[in-house]
């Protein structure tokens, strides 16, 4: 039974860690493409006093608001460990605005990006919304207490497990990236202009798709199994998370290709990968905690290698919303999702490595403990 007090320090420390991770995602997304750097023609911070740009739309503003809501939320929740709520909210807003100004200033050096004071205002508004919402989720508040009670019924207690739950949720969100296949996180070849190592053939493409899906399914399934309290929940929870991920992929496919393309992502290679991954996962769920963590880490490493060594799909066409360049709000949304999708395997591998080390360290004194 969880006997931690309502004001749990680990909640705030986890929030600060997640805020730092999200900052890295924002930096990565804001600096896309990572090439073409040049000295700006104008003064770097001149965009702050520029007139309202005519090309900004409501959708642009809403996307920039939404992008900074999580940052404001996590900063305010994390800073609450050392200061009153009002001060935590104000400091979270200040840090978010400073971050936004810094990113817009750096974009002045990228010809493909446009720095805008409207973006700074929208980012600040999003951070303020997130920061104001954060106190409602404190463990001492009713909503936070209810979420905490549900979390403790389903998952093993402890900050390590909290981090694992966040990693799993982020994996589901990565499936909204329209530029990769199902479960195709960590595709870095395009971002860093890496060459294709093998040429396309139908059989090789099928094998590559199956391999990527199989190892990712195995990795996320084993990761989830280490977070749950009861073994009886393994199957239903893993199935629910996989279904949610596929629902995200179907949602973005419908948005881009309309309803007739809702199942375009379900290729023979993807289906084969699902079957093989499910069979392997079912046989490995009975292993010990450390073994499942180690195998999850290995599976995600192999998946990362497979997605970057796989041949380019000659049948893939860039969605018109991205190819035209006219829908800047969708481009911004896509940049954030692409950054999260590319960075997720690194985040997951870091978590699995830390969790494995923690499990082995604690098992010497308390074999079944993965808690703090």
pLDDT of residue 371: 46
Q: CA 95, CA 128: separation in Å to the nearest integer?
A: 11
Q: Would you give the distance in Å from CA 224 to the centre of its chain?
A: 16
pLDDT tens digits in sequence order for the chain, 372 residues long = 333 434 566 778 888 888 888 888 888 888 877 777 888 777 777 788 888 777 777 777 888 898 899 999 999 999 988 888 899 999 999 999 999 999 988 888 888 787 888 889 999 999 999 999 998 887 777 877 888 788 888 888 888 888 899 899 999 989 988 778 889 899 888 777 677 777 767 788 889 999 999 999 999 999 999 999 877 678 889 999 999 999 988 888 777 766 556 677 788 899 999 999 999 999 999 999 999 999 999 999 999 999 998 887 665 555 555 554 444 545 556 777 888 889 899 999 999 999 999 888 877 656 444 444
Nearest to 15 by CA among 98, 97, 88: 88
pLDDT of residue 2: 39
Q: Name, in order, each residue with C-beta under 8 angstroms of 282's C-beta and a sequence gap of 6 or more.
A: none
**R_g of the chain computed on alpha carbons:** 22
pLDDT of residue 260: 58
pLDDT of residue 281: 96
Give the SS3 label for residue 83. Answer: coil
Under 8 Å between Cβ of 71 and 127: yes
Q: Model's pTM, two decimal places?
A: 0.75
Nearest to 170 by CA among 152, 159, 181, 186: 186
Give the SS3 label for residue 226. Answer: coil
Q: CA 104, CA 107: separation in Å to the nearest integer?
A: 5
pLDDT of residue 372: 43
Q: How far is CA 116 from CA 52, 165, 292, in A?
A: 9, 35, 47
Under 8 Å between Cβ of 198 and 204: yes
Nearest to 116 by CA among 328, 325, 338: 328
């Amino acid at each position: 039974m969880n006997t931690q007090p309502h004001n749990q320090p680990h909640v705030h420390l986890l929030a600060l860690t997640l805020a730092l991770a999200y900052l890295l995602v924002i930096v990565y997304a804001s600096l896309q493409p990572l090439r073409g750097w040049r000295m700006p023609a104008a003064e770097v911070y001149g965009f702050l006093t520029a007139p309202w740009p005519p090309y900004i739309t409501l959708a642009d503003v809403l996307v920039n608001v939404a992008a900074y809501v999580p940052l404001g939320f996590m900063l305010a929740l994390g800073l609450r460990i050392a200061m009153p709520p009002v001060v935590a909210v104000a400091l979270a807003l200040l840090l978010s605005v400073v971050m936004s100004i810094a990113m817009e200033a750096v974009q002045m050096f990228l010809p493909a990006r446009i720095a805008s004071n409207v973006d700074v205002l929208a980012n600040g508004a999003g951070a303020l919304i997130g920061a104001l919402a954060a106190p409602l989720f404190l463990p001492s508040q009713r909503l936070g207490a209810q979420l905490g009670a549900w979390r403790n019924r389903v998952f093993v207690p402890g900050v390590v497990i909290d981090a694992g739950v966040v990693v799993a949720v982020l994996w589901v969100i990565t499936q909204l990236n329209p530029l990769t296949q199902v479960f195709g996180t960590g595709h870095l070849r395009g971002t860093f202009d890496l060459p294709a190592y093998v040429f396309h053939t139908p059989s090789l493409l099928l094998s590559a798709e199956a391999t990527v899906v199989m190892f990712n399914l195995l990795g996320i399934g084993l990761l989830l199994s280490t977070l749950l309290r009861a073994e009886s929940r393994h199957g239903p929870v893993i199935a629910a998370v996989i279904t949610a991920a596929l629902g995200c992929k179907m949602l973005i496919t419908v948005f881009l290709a309309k309803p007739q393309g809702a199942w375009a992502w379900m290729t023979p290679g993807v289906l084969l990968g699902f079957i093989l991954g499910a069979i392997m996962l079912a046989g490995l769920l009975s292993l010990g905690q450390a073994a499942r963590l180690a195998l999850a880490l290995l599976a995600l490493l192999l998946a990362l290698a497979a997605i970057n060594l796989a041949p380019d799909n000659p049948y893939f066409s860039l969605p018109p919303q991205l190819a035209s360049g006219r829908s800047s709000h969708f481009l911004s949304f896509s940049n954030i999702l692409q950054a999260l999708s590319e960075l997720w395997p690194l985040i997951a591998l870091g978590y699995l490595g830390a969790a494995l080390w923690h499990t082995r360290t604690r098992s010497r004194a308390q074999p079944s403990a993965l808690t703090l």
